[in-house]
Amino acid sequence: MTDTSKSSPALRPGETIEQTSSFLPKFGSDGLIPAIVSDARSGNVLMFAHMNEQALQQTIATGFAHFWSRSRGKLWKKGEESGNLLSVKEVRTDCDQDVVWLLADVEGDGVACHTGAPSCFYRRLIASPDSSGSLSLESAGLPLDADHD
């Protein structure tokens, strides 16, 4: 039995995972699959976007993350304007294969978010002080601290 009691990185180089022959991602009825990107070294979640089949193929073929931008209606090579390309080290899918997870290094100045924050997830939701049930935002703490709108 594998000892899972000790904390270890979620992602170890060479760790045995299901290989590409069984990687059959399920695209939704809109032709898209959610894609999470984490920093291959720190493990921080960097961003979330969507892929269509072409984006996934281009990602695997080139080693750089491609997405489908719904708002712009186009294939999007992340970093094509900013230089913050995502060099993909590993692509995983989840148990029911309807999400993909990219482990990547951020090129350029190492900033994944277009706001200038290292990660898109630089804020956390907190309950409002009046306990009205609504939520307000505040800037997250380290290591993703940034005061960006």
Cα–Cα distance list, 3 to 11, 12, 18 (Å): 15, 15, 20
98 is in an annotated binding site: yes
- The answer to the question of whether 149 is labelled as a binding residue is no
Pairing of the two strands 33-39 and 100-106: parallel
Task: Candidates 5-13, 45-53, 95-103, 126-134: pick the segment binding ligand PRT (CB under 6 A).
Answer: 45-53
# residues contacting ligand PRT (CB under 6 A): 17
Neighbouring-strand partners of residue 136: 126
Look at residues 148, 129, 126 and name the one whose alpha carbon lies nearest to residue 137.
Answer: 126
Contact pick of 51, 88, 102, 113 for ligand PRT (by CB under 6 A):
113
Spell out the residues 6+ positions from residue 25 whose beta carbon is closer than 8 angstroms to its own. Answer: 33, 56, 93, 97, 98, 100
Q: Is 113 part of any known ligand binding site? A: yes
Looking at 21, 22, 29, 71, which residue binds Mg ion (CB under 5 A)?
71
Binding at 50: pick from Zn ion, Mg ion, ligand PRT, none (beta carbon under 5-8 Å per type): ligand PRT
Q: Does 72 bind Mg ion (CB under 5 A)?
A: no
Residues near Mg ion, by CB under 5 A: 71
